[in-house]
Amino acid sequence: MSVGSRLAGTPRARVLLAVVLAALVYAASSGAMLLHPSPHFHFVDMAWNLMHGRVDTDTPRRGPNQPQKPDDPRGLSAAVNRHLLGADGKNLGWNDWASYRVLTLKGGEVVRGVFPWKDQSAPRNREFRTLDGRLMIIDVDKELRSGCKPGRPYERCDDVVYQVSFPPLPAIVMMPLVAIWGYDVNDTLVTLLFAIASVLLFALWIERLAARGLIATSAGDRVWLSALMAFGTVTWYCSIRGQVWFTALVVGLTLHFAYLWFGEGARRPFWAGLMFGLGVAARTPILFAGLFVPLEAAFEGGQPFWRGGGEGWKRFAVKMFWFALPAAIVGAGLAWFNWVRWENPLEFGHLYLLEGTRGPTREHGLFNTVFLNNNLSAAVTNMPRLLLNAPFVLITRHGLGLLASTPALFALLGGPRRDEATADDVAGAERKRLERSLFWTLLAVAVPGLVYQNDGWQQFAYRFSMDFLPLLLGLFALRVQKLSRGVKILIVLSMVVQLFGAITFGRMEQFYYDCRRARRLPQLLPRIA
């Protein structure tokens, strides 16, 4: 009996093993980070302001080393210092906070928007884009009213509104904690707990797939699959550090797994719709995963619903109603939240980072095919640089591609292995339906990210893959039906690579370089003729 089989035991034991291992390894690799709130406390700040009836924030108006004011929430000054001050005490500035200007013109009109080209020379620097999409030419030195603030009669009516440019669900989750601990909430621990929940949901899911005959992996192999998910993917390094970007990804991952759990076969459309809506409220790319449940419902039983006549249409319509109902309620709430913040129901605020002056965004928008080449490299093909001298390995801050960070994915190239899992016609049809649903939904989620203005910059490996990771791992379990020794070696190699990222990213900067600034790198290993 193999070691994996001895460890496997019952389904409950396998799930428990995966969860306990994930908790222990994540906590150990997080180390000191787990003991403190992270430097990037955007969700804690949003939670505090929402609790006090505000959708904006004044936090970015503060500077470092300011004394705690009597009316400040607990821990605010310490949080500001963590965010702003580097290890050398240098002010690093506010990172990823969105803002726009509120101008009062001499005629009394109040306009809200940004000067995207304010760093350019006239007349370009006078172009003002309002939140509702109008283009205006405004000379702030000549066209603004003065005296809007009491006691400041000569000051121009020019204000800035600051926002947290992320969907609000993680902040809502943290609100009870913020009510108790203020800005001292340990968002690193919160993120890690969601990551452990993701491991739990994945382990439960593959056990259910096996129980229904859709996958033929042995009990021991399913432990290997859980290990791949927890330690062989970007989940590991993203889950142990808190920080707003990674927290959103991890919360979205958990809800995505919950969505697939309820949505598979369209068995629980209401709960699937709720998990889907909440997932979008954590990570907007999960919106494109909404294709999964309609595909599952459309081919229930392996046949298109329209071949079932009136009964087929009725069954499909009922499932879609219950799926859409909770998703629409959550979506309406998100649309309202965006509207009151940005006067646009579809805008979460990334367009207004750096007050709308980010070069790629102002020139090409948030989505454009001009970003495709760089994003493809970051997502798939970026490799480490091997050197003759220390540190011997260098990784671009654009991150490793999936083929380098999770080599186990090469096993997908062999195609599905047909065996006893598909011998039964019903199980075979169900497996084929699920594989098709996962594949097309994977494309629907992954492709828009490849034309997005950000490739995940400042990462060990392609972090945006977490938005479609549940779909990718589901396909892996369905297609790689038997884990050969070669596949297990690839899984071990994936875990070794991810261990390196979990240990070094954000802690050992000598292994990472900015290819936009590096003029000369240490000598590479000699080429093979």
3-state secondary structure of 187: helix
Please state, as a whole number, how many other Cβ atoms lie within 10 Å of the Cβ of residue 335. 15
- Domain 98-163 fold is SH3 type barrels. (2.30.30)
State how far the Cα of 433 lies from the Cα of 292, in Å rounded to an integer: 11
CA angle 7, 13, 18 (to 5 degrees): 75
What is d(CA 266, CA 249) in angstroms, rounded to the nearest whole number?
A: 25
Question: What is the residue-level pLDDT of the chain in tens, covering all 529 positions?
Answer: 455 555 567 889 999 999 999 999 999 999 999 999 999 999 999 999 999 999 999 999 999 998 888 889 999 999 999 999 988 889 999 999 999 999 999 999 999 999 999 989 888 999 999 999 899 999 999 999 998 888 888 899 999 999 999 999 999 999 999 999 999 999 999 999 999 999 999 999 999 999 998 998 888 999 999 999 999 999 999 999 999 999 999 999 999 999 999 999 999 999 999 999 999 999 999 999 999 999 999 998 777 878 777 888 999 999 999 999 999 999 999 999 999 999 999 998 999 999 988 888 989 999 999 999 999 999 999 999 999 999 999 999 999 999 999 999 999 987 555 544 444 677 788 899 999 999 999 999 999 999 999 999 899 999 999 999 999 999 999 999 889 999 999 999 999 999 999 999 999 999 999 865 554 455 444 433 2
Burial of 122 (0-12, 13-18, 19+ CB in 10 A): exposed
> What are 110-128's pLDDT values in tens digits?
999 999 999 898 889 999 9
Domain ranges of the chain: 3-29+186-513, 37-94, 98-163
> With contact defined as beta carbons under 8 Å apart, do 316 and 297 qualify?
yes
Q: What residues have CB less than 8 Å from 106, skipping those under 6 apart?
A: 143, 144, 145
pTM reported for the whole predicted model: 0.93
276-298 confidence digits (pLDDT tens): 999 999 999 999 999 999 999 99
